[in-house]
Amino acid sequence: MRLPARAEAAERIVRTSVEALTSAGPVSDPDLISAHGALLLLAAIIAAGQGNAKRASQLLERANGLATTLGSDRNRLWTGFGPTNVVIHSVSAAVRAGNANQAMEIGTRLDTSRLPTVLVGRRAQVDVDLAAAALMSSTDRSVAVLHLLEAERVAAEMVHANVQARTLLLDLLAKERRAATPGLRPLAERAGLLA
C-alpha cells in the first residue's frame, strides 16, 4: 500500500481476499466479520489514495455495516475492527484523498477511548492524520503541531518512527515560526530530526 507503483497489486490482493471471505455468503463469526471489515477498510484507504473518493466512501459504508453487526470495538485477529476504527479510517481516507476539511470534521466527532487499550497506535494515527489535515487546510501550523504532540503523548513511537509523522515534522520545520509553534523544535529533537 505504501508503494504507489504497487497500489493496484495491493487492491487486487484485498479484493481477492474479500471475495474469498464472502463467497459462501454472509458470515456470523465475529472473527470473520472483523477480518472482512479490516479488509474493507484497507480497500477504502487504497481507493482514497488513488483519488477514488466515491469508491472509498462505498467501502467505508460497507465496513460500517459490518461494525454495526459486530456491535462494539474489538481486537479480534488483531484487526482492531469496530465502529471506532471505521471512523479512524474515514479520517485517514479523507486525508489520503486530499479532503482536509472532511478529515477535520470527522475528527471532531471521534472518540478513541472506546478502543481496546492495546491499540495505542490507532489512537495516535488519528492525531497524525489530523496534523496532516491541519497542514493541508490552514496556514496556522500550530494546530498541526498540537496534534503531533498529542500523538507523541499517546504513542511516542508513532511520531518518532512513523514516516508520515516525520515528513510532517520536516515540513513544519521548513516553514517554522518559532513564536507560533514553540513545541515544534523539542518534538523534532525527540524524534531525532535535529542534529
C-alpha cell at 84: 471506532
pTM: 0.90
Asked whether residue 147 carries a pLDDT value surpassing 70, the answer given is: yes
**pLDDT digits 0-9 by tens, 70-103:** 999 989 999 999 999 999 999 999 999 999 999 9
DSSP structure string for 109-163: T--GGGS-TT-HHHHHHHHHHHHHHHHHH-S-THHHHHHHHHHHHH-HHHHHH-H
Asked whether residue 23 carries a pLDDT value surpassing 70, the answer given is: yes
- At residue 71, the pLDDT reads 92
Whether residue 26 contacts residue 7, with contact meaning beta carbons closer than 8 Å, is answered with no
Asked whether residue 180 carries a pLDDT value surpassing 90, the answer given is: no
Instruction: Please provide the average confidence, as pLDDT, over all residues in the chain.
Output: 92
Closest Cα to residue 48, out of 163, 129, 119?
129
Asked whether residue 178 carries a pLDDT value surpassing 90, the answer given is: no
Label residue 195 by pLDDT band (50, 70, 90): low
Asked whether residue 1 carries a pLDDT value surpassing 70, the answer given is: no
- At residue 84, the pLDDT reads 96
